[in-house]
Amino acid sequence: MPGLDFSAALTCLKMGDRVARSGWNGNGMWLEIARGGTYIDHDILEQPLSRHFIVMFTADGELVPWVASQTDILANDWETVNG
């Protein structure tokens, strides 16, 4: 679903969807929640919510922890990504 604000994108993340911004420069980049403090080969380990964090799949094919910028938070170009 295109044209989401950050709040809606965050809700989608919490439901297990991947999200991305249409305005990002890199092709194929997306975010998802890593659960359990361990993220190996896209396997999610269930742990308490306090151990969850957001990761980005980068244009280079790397998974890295992600922190939203003010621009990301205020953007209205978020969309869900099929996984």
Summarize the confidence of residues 45-54 as an average pLDDT: 63
Average pLDDT across the chain, whole number? 83
Contact 13, 79 (CB under 8 A): no
Question: Strands, E, within the chain: which ranges?
Answer: 18-21, 30-34, 39-40, 43-44, 53-57, 63-65, 78-81
Residue whose C-alpha is closest to residue 47's, from 56, 34, 57: 34
Task: Name the pLDDT band for 50 (thresholds 50, 70, 90).
Answer: low
- Mean per-residue pLDDT, 59-63: 90
From residue 38, alpha-carbon distances to 3, 8, 25, 26, 53 in Å are 31, 25, 27, 25, 10
Task: Output the pLDDT for position 40.
Answer: 47
